[in-house]
Chains A and B, each alone.
Chain A
């Protein structure tokens, strides 16, 4: 009985909070919403037809975006893998796993675009900053996914191989990594997909890639070029997602 009242009270409070927040963010201002809808219509009208003249510069920028994602993913993975092993409870001692998990969590809290801003300050404008930003976020994100994958490895296999009498490095080499191999590749492909999307907006902060053009077209009101840029990005992302999920399915 008491529990049911508590649930109702909770639901009522949640609803009130929602309506209040809705008003605070401005979504109860109907004249503004009506204006917004009209503007959106104009915006879409101005986007058509897409501008074919900018395709070549966009493709060049898109290639840079893909390079940022590729190099960033590989560098991040190179660091994430050893860190994930150190964070795996079934492999490393607790005095290591706890701090490494904390470090990975802290890195992950900061999105790649913020890391990119930090690296723009450090190494200057351009794709180098973006690549480092992507790499660092990858360490945090992939590191967590990998140690969760490792901790899910069948404990019987780990115990059987540990019983053979080797050290921790041998256990990782002969039981943990081979058991998790398909999962690692799958995570890596997923991370690359994710990073392609993340690096397409790095240009907003001057960290290279197609995002520089996306932002520029918005600021210069060149909506036809903007549509072209969006379509080019969309094509690339779709192709990569398809290829990667086909690969991952093949692994299973």
Chain B
């Protein structure tokens, strides 16, 4: 938390309260506009700076543009206007290969259900082993050992041979994290990450995220669970109808205030 930006007093709606220093900025969005084909804009004039090594929660009602924001950062969608800079690099347009240092966990996790926990975990390492090895499934021993250690640290090593289909929700979540960690990410983007879990499991998973952040990873998660934000996030950004309406340190905002900002 040493690199935490200075906080500013919050007034609602407060736009771009505290801009973090450039060095600690992992993700920078400038005047982003996005819409699907000829529909109404999903995001309109959004500028966001996300500091490195922190947990940033993006809040908002469904349809407010949270998922789109993550997709733009990951490079799955390209903005119609504006600039996306991730890890100091301006995103090249139209490229098919995506940066493995940015791990993306979609809402339904995107695991291959018919395959084992181990295979799903190893998938995360595809980009850093020789292509033929990855294609044939001959991962180097060190990578396999790393996958096993990662599963160990997440407490699901005993399920390594199990098919993802047969796992519980919390276990699947851990596999998705394991796959993301195998990318050796600098940023993890998690969409509605714990919303389908019971509160206890959600807390366990989010505590894991705090450990990961302590290891030097930036986490951006969308959610609509306010108490989880209060407990686990450092910074909170609220979107409403495709625009940013709040961007502040969690410590400076009361949950009731947040609820009001989202719903108004």
Seen from chain A, the residues whose Cβ lies within 8 Å of a Cβ on chain B are 154, 156-170, 173-175, 178-179, 181-182
Assess whether B97 is in contact with A167, with CB atoms less than 8 Å apart. yes
Give the shortest distance, in Å, between B141 (CB) and chain A (any CB): 19
Interface pairs A-B: 4 shortest CB-CB: A160-B110, A165-B100, A165-B127, A166-B126
Of A154, A160, A174, A179, the most chain B CB neighbours within 10 A belong to: A160
Describe A's contact surface by its main secondary structure: helix
Beyond A163-B100, A170-B135, A179-B114: 13 further Cβ-contacts under 8 Å? A156-B107, A157-B111, A160-B179, A161-B123, A164-B124, A165-B98, A166-B134, A169-B131, A169-B135, A170-B134, A175-B123, A178-B114, A178-B119
Q: Cα distance A154–B112 when bound, in Å?
A: 10
Q: Cα distance A160–B121 when bound, in Å?
A: 12
Q: Cα distance A167–B113 when bound, in Å?
A: 21
Q: Cα distance A156–B113 when bound, in Å?
A: 12
Q: Cα distance A161–B127 when bound, in Å?
A: 11
Assess whether B109 is in contact with A164, with CB atoms less than 8 Å apart. no
Partner of A164, one of B106, B119, B123, B131: B123
- Chain A residues, Cβ within 8 Å of B112: 157, 161, 174-175, 178-179
Assess whether B105 is in contact with A167, with CB atoms less than 8 Å apart. no
Partner of A159, one of B102, B110, B127, B134: B110
Q: Cα distance A165–B97 when bound, in Å?
A: 6
Given contacts A169-B135, A170-B134, contact A163 B98 (CB under 8 A): yes
Q: Cα distance A147–B113 when bound, in Å?
A: 20
Assess whether B124 is in contact with A167, with CB atoms less than 8 Å apart. no
Partner of B106, one of A159, A166, A175: A159
Give the shortest distance, in Å, between A223 (CB) and chain B (any CB): 51
Assess whether B179 is in contact with A164, with CB atoms less than 8 Å apart. yes
Given contacts A157-B111, A174-B112, contact A163 B103 (CB under 8 A): yes
Q: Does B148 sit at the interface, judged by CB under 8 A?
A: no
Assess whether A174 is in contact with B131, with CB atoms less than 8 Å apart. no
Q: Which residue of B lies closest to A181 (CB)?
A: B114
Q: Cα distance A196–B113 when bound, in Å?
A: 33
Q: Cα distance A166–B103 when bound, in Å?
A: 13
Q: Does B108 sit at the interface, judged by CB under 8 A?
A: yes
Q: Cα distance A136–B126 when bound, in Å?
A: 35
Q: Cα distance A162–B75 when bound, in Å?
A: 11
Q: Which residue of A lies closest to B100 (CB)?
A: A165
Q: Does B96 sit at the interface, judged by CB under 8 A?
A: yes
Give the shortest distance, in Å, between A78 (CB) and chain B (any CB): 18
Assess whether B114 is in contact with A164, with CB atoms less than 8 Å apart. no
Q: Does B115 sit at the interface, judged by CB under 8 A?
A: yes
Given contacts A170-B135, A179-B112, contact A165 B105 (CB under 8 A): no
Assess whether A164 is in contact with B107, with CB atoms less than 8 Å apart. no
Q: Which residue of A lies closest to B108 (CB)?
A: A156
Given contacts A173-B135, A178-B114, contact A165 B108 (CB under 8 A): no
* A-B residue pairs in contact (CB < 8 Å), sample of 13: A157-B111, A157-B112, A159-B106, A163-B100, A164-B100, A164-B183, A166-B134, A167-B97, A167-B131, A170-B131, A175-B112, A178-B115, A179-B112
Q: Cα distance A154–B110 when bound, in Å?
A: 8
- Chain B residues, Cβ within 8 Å of A168: 96
Partner of B123, one of A154, A158, A167, A174: A174
Q: Cα distance A162–B106 when bound, in Å?
A: 12
Q: Which residue of B lies closest to A158 (CB)?
A: B110
